[in-house]
Structure 1
Amino acid sequence: MIPYGKQQLDAADLAAVQEVLQSNWLTQGPKVPEFEQAIAIQCQAQFAVAVNSATSALHIACLALDVGPGDIVWTSPNSFVASANCALYCGAQVDFVDIDLANGNICCEALTAKLIHAKQTNTLPKVLIPVHFAGQSCDMAAIAALAKEYGFTVLEDASHAIGASYLNQPVGICAYADICVFSFHPVKIITSGEGGIATTNNPKLARKMQLLRSHGITAEPDELTEPSHGVWYYQQQSLGYNYRMTDIQAALAISQLTKLPRFVAERHQLAKWYDNAFAGNPHISPLQQQTYAYSSYHLYVVRLTNLSKTQHKDCIHFLRQQGIIGHLHYIPIYLQPYYKQLGFAAGHCPRAEQYYQQAVTLPLYPGLTTSEQQSVVDALQRFLEEKQ
Structure 2
Amino acid sequence: MTPYGNIVFFIIIGILLMPTIILGLRGKSAKRYNIFISIVVLALIFGSSLNGSISLILFTVFQILLIIVYQKYRLQKNSTSVFVIAVLLSILPLVLVKVLPILGLHHLFGFLGVSYITFKSVQMILETRDGLIKDKISVVELAYFLLFFPTVSSGPIDRWRRFYKDLHTVPSGQDYQKLLLSGINCIFLGFLYKFILAYLIYNYTLIYLPSQTYNYLTPFQGQIAYMYMYSFYLFFDFAGYSAFAVGVSRIMGVQTPINFNRPFSSRNIKDFWNRWHMSLSFWFRDYVYMRFVLWMTKKKWIKNKYTVSYLGFFLLFFLMGIWHGLELHFVVYGLYHALLIICFDKFERWNKKRKIWPKNKWTHAIGVFITFNAICFGFYIFSGTLF
TM-score by length of structure 2 reads 0.32
TM-score by length of structure 1 reads 0.32
